[in-house]
Amino acid sequence: MYYHVPDYVYPPPCPLNILMVTDRDGCYAPITGNRQQRSLNLLIDSLTRPSSLMNARIRKAHREPVTAGTVNGFAETAEEGFRSFRFRYTGAGERSLENFDEIWLFGILNTEQIVRNESGVDISSLADDEVNAINRFMSERRGGVLAMGDHFTFGTPLCGRIPRVRSMRRWLVGEVPTATDSTRLDTRIKPANVSQETFDAQTENQYEDDDVPQEIYPVIYGSASRFLPIEGYPHPLLCGPNGPIRVLPDHMHEGMCYVPRPLPEEFNGISPQVIAYGTNRAGSAAVPSFGLIGAYDGDDAGLGRIVVESTWHHFVYLNLQGFAASTNPTGMRHWQEIQAYYQNLALWLAPTEKRACLFENASWFARWHPRLDEELATFANPNTFELVHLGRAGFDVLGQWAPRCWVVQSLLIMISRLAPSPAMRLMIDPWYSGNKQQQQPRPDSLSLLNAELIYTAALGGMLHRMYKSFPSPSVNPKEIKLLRKTLPVMAQEGIYQGLKSIEPILASSIADLQNLQQLLPKDPILQRPQEQKAKSTRNKKR
């Protein structure tokens, strides 16, 4: 919390319940020496930092089979009830997927390392009933899934059979990048004093434990509308505190994300996207750049969201330790951006209802911020300009703990409920293409009108509506108890108020543009024939 909100005006919290699952030598706490290289401890620390927006509750699971009544040291770092973990959707107990909003899968095992029981049955890979359980989680609960491996078939036993996940990333022998030949994908930064030959020798983990990241290239989205331009935005996953996130930890041989063509039916007509690309720095590189992060927005398909990653080296201790311990300003800034990406993953992957709850709570907290509380009290009956002013102040306040892209996307979801028109969405939503099969970034355009006006007016209207209902903290227990139900109503009514307020501005702007068009100078080249004709007529009269 960055300011005090009286306890008795708090709405019920919206915790994000995340299930993390790993295998083999993946773990959750440092063990000793090199055995801590694949620990997820720094990732978990980043997600569980105090925040007024996100309360992440993480359960740590490990799939290592119990042998002779014992588990290995890596599995012991998981929670006791989540060792030798197997997926099931329903049922009593805390292991049921009905208890979670998101599943984060870190597949360390490859297809040559699977364990079989005495009957020869694979007990390392997902069984059919587990695949079905995760599929139900994504379709019925609309839960989010983050899945990854590394080069070769690392991650395939855990992730390679999950619907949609299996088609967003290379998992199988014959299509995966390897560690040694021209298919290798190396994102490490070669020091200036090191030859390419020495660099390619791949000394184990060399240049990976420092605070020097790889530079990534996020896709920038914008509107193709000639009426309402939209400022260029990266995907919400890569919207950071200082603009687009352009760094991630590097690794000597990553995996690859891609968009399947033709699109399999299991995507329900909504295509995934590669939202960021990496640069291959291997000397023998046959592929100069590759898909680093893939994302599937299942909202329009009635399914949960999915993110696939090229490698879990973007998340483990080996590759994060240099950033977390960095004392130079550049390294510290990079660590801030990497942690922002982790937070964005948790926010974006949440089911629809949980995302709405988080946004309503964030806006409610913003309403009580000293700056906004004073501004709201100043404008008892705000006009359009005052609502836009309140919206801009709201973006500033929310920006203290929420990425701007997340706020914009949350507003757009609520606006689309009031105006469920694809044409409207195409004009104001930078991430919507209107073509379900393609879902490709649209080209930038120029216009004299700006969709930012809609965002700010909508947010200003929502904040003012909350102020109007609660001009001062309530001590009525009944009101506070009902706040979870009344917040969505206040938010929708306020957004409607904000949108209606800008109608006269839009009409006036259209009229001004039409007048401006008439007043613009004509092309002098087109005027010359008329001038010559007039001159000829004058000469004849003489």
pLDDT at position 191 is 86
Contact between residue 145 and residue 97 where contact means Cβ atoms under 8 Å apart: no
pLDDT at position 231 is 57
pLDDT at position 326 is 97
pLDDT at position 1 is 39
Q: Please tell me the distance from the alpha carbon of residue 326 to that of residue 329, in angstroms, as a whole number.
A: 8
Is the bond into 244 cis (omega within 30 degrees of 0)?
no
pLDDT at position 227 is 46
In this structure, the chain runs to a length of 542
Q: Which residues pair with 97 in a beta bridge?
A: none
Give the burial class of 504: count Cβ atoms within 10 A of its Cβ; 0-12 exposed, 13-18 middle, 19 or more buried.
Answer: exposed
pLDDT at position 321 is 96
Under 8 Å CB-to-CB from 337, ≥6 apart: which residues?
240, 241, 242, 245, 246, 247
Query: Cα-flanking dihedrals φ and ψ of residue 373, to 5°?
Result: -60, -40
Structure token pair of residue 346: 């948790």
pLDDT at position 235 is 96
Q: Please tell me the distance from the alpha carbon of residue 254 to that of residue 251, in angstroms, as a whole number.
A: 6
What is the signed CA dihedral for 419, 423, 425, 431, rounded to 10 degrees? 170
Which stretches of 81-174 are DSSP H helices?
Answer: 128-139, 156-159
pLDDT at position 510 is 81
Which residues does the chain have with pLDDT short of 70?
1-10, 34, 51-52, 68-69, 223-231, 434-449, 474-475, 480, 524-542
pTM, two decimals, is 0.91
HSE, CB side, 13 Å, CA atoms: give it for residue 134.
Answer: 28
